Amino acid sequence: MEGRDLCLIDQRLLPHALKILRLSTYPEAIAAIREMAVRGAGTIGVTGGFAMAQAALAAPAGGGFWQEVERAAGAIAAARPTAKNLSYAVDRVRAAMKGAPGIEEARRRAVAEGQAVYDDDARMTEEIAKAGLSLFQGRRSVLTHCNAGWLAYPGWGSALAPIYLAHRQGQSVFVYATETRPRSQGAKLTSWELTQAGVPHALIADTAAGHLMAKGEVELAVVGADRIAANGDTANKIGTYTLAVLAREHRIPFYVAAPSPTFDAECPSGDLIPIEERDEKEVLEVSGLLATGEAATVRMANPGTCAKNPAFDVTPARLITGFITEQGIVEPNAQAIGRFLHSR
């Protein structure tokens, strides 16, 4: 934050333009989350934490202070339902404010805790990079889905974190990045990140993954997560479940990279993870640059056709090889996850 302003990259414009959004109020931060100007579980969470700080700074100093903070907390946490990191950050900032001897101290604590959420996330992603590095011993080609780099999780990212570290250490790494319809985060964001880092990669259609696996061109799959249930069932960008099934069929290790705030100990299984349904226009239309360089959105589907647009799916724990966390590789079962969360 700069004063009361929250400064973020507008991810909707990437890779064709780099613009910094300056958000002055928590309702603006909520709108940025809902409209996917900011996206990715960790980045959503950090934005929510700073939005709580904005709410505390703007709330009246009189008797309505705490009521306004609670109202803001509910609105921020509801901005997008699937990612656990959002409610985690909101609850963490709210808890830090409780018991403050006065309103000014509550405001100070809100700002400090919002920054602490960011700092902790960055530290955990660096540990994830180290924890996942061993997976690249003897393996070169890795498949990833959606965007789970530093745009999605502050610091090193989640799924891309060990890839970045392996590349920096001189290991030969090649990434297959799925385009990730309908919003094309792989095409627009992951490919942009990998290009900036100089990591060799190829963009593939979502439907090409099985073909490449069958040909032996994929040795490892690593994805991020938006929420992990207590039993290991994992919600991530739509299409993840399909890739996990394909990986199992072709005996390819399938890992999920996520720090502890993404785990939801109060959610027993994936059946209870809320799945966000987004506007059908995301499926019916596509946006990009025309040959003239002008940005445009065009309709792809037949006129009169409607669409269903679940933003996430749930991969059962039985299809996951392991979780790459800030404390190392965690097995995908309730007992191992429970020990991991208890040791935080």
Tell me the Ramachandran region of residue 328: left when phi exceeds 0, alpha when psi lies from -120 to 50, beta otherwise. Answer: left
226 is catalytic: yes
User: What percent of the chain has a predicted confidence (pLDDT) above 90?
Assistant: 96
Per residue, what are the HEC states of 42-87? HHHHHHHHHHHHHHHHHCCCCCCHHHHHHHHHHHHHCCCCCCHHHH
Q: Cα–Cα distances in Å, from 184 out to 7, 11, 12, 196, 205?
A: 24, 12, 10, 18, 10
Would you call the peptide bond into 182 cis, given omega within 30 degrees of 0 as the criterion? yes
> Is pLDDT at 70 greater than 80 in this prediction?
yes
Strand, helix or coil at 97?
helix
pLDDT per residue over 166-179, tens digit each?
Answer: 999 999 999 999 99
pLDDT tens track for 262-281: 999 999 999 999 999 999 99
The pLDDT value recorded for residue 3 is 84
Give tens-digit pLDDT for 188-237: 999 999 999 999 999 999 999 999 999 999 999 999 999 999 999 999 99
Asked whether the beta carbons of 220 and 143 are under 8 A apart, the reply is yes
Model confidence band, residue 2 (pLDDT cutoffs 50, 70, 90): confident
Least Cα distance to 128 among 332, 323, 339 occurs for 323
Half-sphere exposure of 280 (CA within 13 A, CB side): 6
What is the pLDDT of the chain when averaged over all its residues? 96
In the predicted structure, residue 344 carries a pLDDT above the cut 80: no
* Direct distance between the N- and C-terminal alpha carbons of the chain, in angstroms, rounded to an integer: 27
Q: Is the pLDDT of residue 145 over 80?
A: yes
Catalytic residue among 226, 233, 264, 313: 226
Q: Could you give all domains of the chain from N- to C-terminal order, each with its CATH number?
A: 6-126 (1.20.120.420), 129-342 (3.40.50.10470)
pLDDT tens digits for range 20-59:
999 999 999 999 999 999 999 999 999 999 999 999 999 9
